[in-house]
Homo-oligomer: A and B are copies of this chain.
Amino acid sequence: MASAGRAGVGTNQEDIRRHNLGTVLGHVHRAGRLSRAELTTRMGLNRSTIAGLVAELESLGLAEQAAPTGARLGAGRPSVDVKARSGAYVLAVDLRVDGLTVARVGLGGVIQSRATGPVPVAHDPHAISDSVVELMRLVVKDVEPDSVLVGVGVGVPGIIRAEDGLVRLAPNLDWHDVPFAQILGDRLGAIGTPVLGNDADLGALAEHLRGAGVGVEDLVYLSGEVGVGAGVIVSGHKLEGAGGYAGEIGHMPFHPEGKLCHCGARGCWETEIGADAIAAAIGCPPERVGALGEFLEGVHGASPELRLVGSHLGRGIAGIVNMLNPRVIVLGGYLRPLFPLVQDDVEAQLEVHALTAPRELVRVALPGLGGDSVLHGAAELAFEPLLADPVERLASACHDADAALAS
């Protein structure tokens, strides 16, 4: 494989240059700000090549150079810093069963503006698209005049077919084979088709790049929403599976005589730790499950029922530890407010059910990005084409999102 890559070197210098341009931009985007010397080290290219690439990014309006802020290291001239210019932005959408969040996120990963609204109760994808567009109009209102919109990313609580954004199944929205990328894309007009991702996959991506899993190669992000899914990163790469459907850990068998799951099976893990189980344990009425996060924030001290949910959580996490041997398991969604209440029960189960060798290597963590992991992940997904080829993506970017959304 490496030999084929090597043999191909030099066949198209322009391709390599554009690829390198995107790679430099990726480093700047993820770090927000870093020195040219650091870029030289990370890229393995020489100083003059890096200087040329940075100058090109500057001329494209994607980066700017600044005097260094860090302490001066060693002799010689201090290296110049390179900063992401946030004038290139994406729109990120976190579509949950209990709410809709839209954010404008600038290059460098800064959330510039956000808006939140309810999900239309019938979960009609067209009605949801309308709501998404209305929230988008709010967040692009005060955008800087020379800013450009370079992509739209959407996190969906379901199984997504990667090639066309078809939602194969979003059980809690009751969606079966809904072409949501196309439906929302039709409403976005000149902005173009959005990229869809599974919510847990996006949470894993964002926590890996900017949160509790920076520098970690093996990470699991557990998304506790109405259902429970996992985003898994192994050896630094997303675990995809044959069709991109991997990570449906909520539907691991957990109890042969357990509760009926909405997927049709009995005793799936999420029947014991999903939103309904948590709600029942804390006395949150079924019709208020949409506000479970707020309910949980108000709980102090765990009842025996909630501690049992914690035990089930710990036992399932032990299975993940045995199966995947991750370095970090990040608890997102409802599991984030739940974990501090039941941490002892989770750890007691880990002690019993996880094998020693993998248990020694793992830590269970709260998201470094708070409740915004999926939102940040959707933004990262939307930035990917820009980072793959900045020149090409900018050529088709949208310069007036407000107008495009109004039409």
Chain A contacts to B: CB under 8 angstroms: 1-9, 16, 19-20, 23, 43-45, 159, 161, 168-169, 217-218, 230, 234-235, 237, 239-249, 251-256, 263-265, 268, 312, 315-316, 318-319, 322-327, 352-353, 355-358, 360-362
Closest chain B residue, CB of each to CB of A258: B256
Pair A3/B356 contact, Cβ less than 8 Å: no
Pair B9/A322 contact, Cβ less than 8 Å: no
CA distance A363 to B6 in the complex (A): 36
Pair A242/B323 contact, Cβ less than 8 Å: no
CA distance A356 to B177 in the complex (A): 11
CA distance A292 to B199 in the complex (A): 45
CA distance A224 to B94 in the complex (A): 42
Give every chain B residue within 8 A of A235 (Cβ-Cβ). 237, 240
Give every chain B residue within 8 A of A316 (Cβ-Cβ). 253
CA distance A362 to B264 in the complex (A): 19
A245-B355 contact, Cβ under 8 Å, with A9-B9, A253-B316: yes
The CB with the most chain B CB atoms within 10 A, among A16, A23, A256, A362, is that of A256
Pair A16/B3 contact, Cβ less than 8 Å: yes
Pair B8/A243 contact, Cβ less than 8 Å: no
Residue contacts A-B, CB under 8 angstroms, 15 given: A4-B43, A7-B45, A159-B357, A168-B356, A218-B241, A218-B242, A234-B241, A241-B358, A242-B362, A243-B360, A246-B325, A248-B355, A249-B322, A251-B353, A252-B322
CA distance A20 to B322 in the complex (A): 37
Contact pick for A358, options B16, B242, B256, B355, CB 8 Å: B242
The CB with the most chain B CB atoms within 10 A, among A45, A168, A318, A323, is that of A323
CA distance A255 to B312 in the complex (A): 11
Could you tell me the distance in whole angstroms from the C-beta of A22 to the nearest C-beta in chain B? 9
Pair B323/A243 contact, Cβ less than 8 Å: no
Give every chain B residue within 8 A of A16 (Cβ-Cβ). 3, 6
Contact pick for A239, options B322, B324, B357, B360, CB 8 Å: B324
Give every chain B residue within 8 A of A19 (Cβ-Cβ). 2-3
Could you tell me the distance in whole angstroms from the C-beta of A296 to the nearest C-beta in chain B? 24
Pair B323/A323 contact, Cβ less than 8 Å: yes
CA distance A43 to B8 in the complex (A): 11
The CB with the most chain B CB atoms within 10 A, among A8, A161, A243, is that of A243
Contact pick for A353, options B168, B237, B265, CB 8 Å: B265
CA distance A3 to B16 in the complex (A): 7
Could you tell me the distance in whole angstroms from the C-beta of A213 to the nearest C-beta in chain B? 11
Pair B241/A355 contact, Cβ less than 8 Å: no
Could you tell me the distance in whole angstroms from the C-beta of A270 to the nearest C-beta in chain B? 11
Give every chain B residue within 8 A of A362 (Cβ-Cβ). 242
CA distance A190 to B319 in the complex (A): 42
